[in-house]
Amino acid sequence: IPQNCAYTTQHASPLTAQTTAAPALTGLGMPNGGLQVVNPSQTLYTQILSTLSSSSALNYEFADQSLLSDLYKGRWVPLPYVYNALKTLRWKGVHDVIWRDGEVRNLHLILSPKPWDEKRGEGKGEETSEMWWGVNGERLEVERGRGIEDGY
């Protein structure tokens, strides 16, 4: 739903969206669990455990993100989309106006099918799957050159 998404606010300035995130309270104000950079402490760990033991934890729709959204509402710093680029953002009519293939640093392959569960040329063949197959093929080639053939 466009009005619930922080990225909608960035459509007017796609170049800025490459380096600047939408504010934490924009849209639903919920962090995405695809990539998190954390500064752990015993105090935060205790807060998380306390929240997990409460009855409200049973209602969390997205486990980690829901818990963190509840516990740290407005007290987290969002990263630009390029560090957690959901494959769905690239889809026409979603947030393709801000998406730049060359700027993406971390591709979040949300939803099924996952490219590792498909073979090239079969299934949906989304462009993000093609990206993954290309990068994964390069990785496998480097590993083979090092004598690593572990099946992963």
Q: Could you report the average pLDDT of every consecutive run of 10 residues in the chain (152 residues)?
A: 86 96 85 81 92 83 83 87 93 95 93 89 82 94 96 88
* pLDDT score of 26: 86
**Would you state the pLDDT for residue 29?**
81
Q: Give residue 105's pLDDT.
A: 94
pLDDT of residue 90: 94
CA–CA distances in Å: residue 149 to residues 132, 140, 144: 19, 8, 6
Residue 123: per-residue pLDDT: 67
Considering all CA atoms of the chain, what is the largest pairwise distance in Å, rounded to the nearest integer?
52
* DSSP sequence for 6-75: GGGGGTT-HHHHTT-PPPTTSTT----TTS------HHHHHHHHHHHTSGGGGG-TTHHHHHHHHHTTT-
pTM of the model: 0.80
Residue of 59, 105, 49, 117 lying closest to 81 (CA atoms): 105
Sign of torsion, CA 125 131 89 63?
Answer: positive
